[in-house]
Amino acid sequence: QLQLVESGGGLVQPGGSLRLSCAASGFSLDYYSIGWFRQAPGKEREAVSCVSSAEPNTNYADSVKGRFTISRYNASNTVYLQMNDLRPEHTSVYYCAADYGLYSCLQRDYEYWGQGTQVTVSS
């Protein structure tokens, strides 16, 4: 069974950091682009960052550039999202997703999704 599991979310104070993990089971991430998406209460889900499968290309939403870093470690079948200098507006449920096709950061292109992990930034 193909499965993505996110972890690493939690409550953090403004200015703090978290590292989210996206672990795959039942398949290898080697040939998949991986995206991180988030959805805040009352808002639509949006792309945060994506990384291609080979010769890694990355994309970031303007709101997280310079704060968030996506990285992948195929040997451990895991993708990470390092989030620094977090702000209350970063509070959301964060999802990772996998896409086997051409590199894309569009939600509609992603076939497999995790269940999400809650990130809350509050003092």
pLDDT at 102: 85
pLDDT score of 92 more than 90: yes
Decide: 105 and 47 in contact? Cβ < 8 Å.
yes
Contacts of 93 (CB under 8 A, 6+ apart): 38, 39, 40, 116, 117, 118, 119
pLDDT per position as a tens digit, 37-76: 999 999 999 999 999 997 679 999 999 999 999 999 988 9
The answer, yes or no, to whether residue 109 has pLDDT greater than 90, is: yes
Q: Which amino acid is at 29?
A: L
% of the chain exceeding 70 in pLDDT: 99
Q: How far apart are CA 3 and CA 113, in angstroms?
A: 8
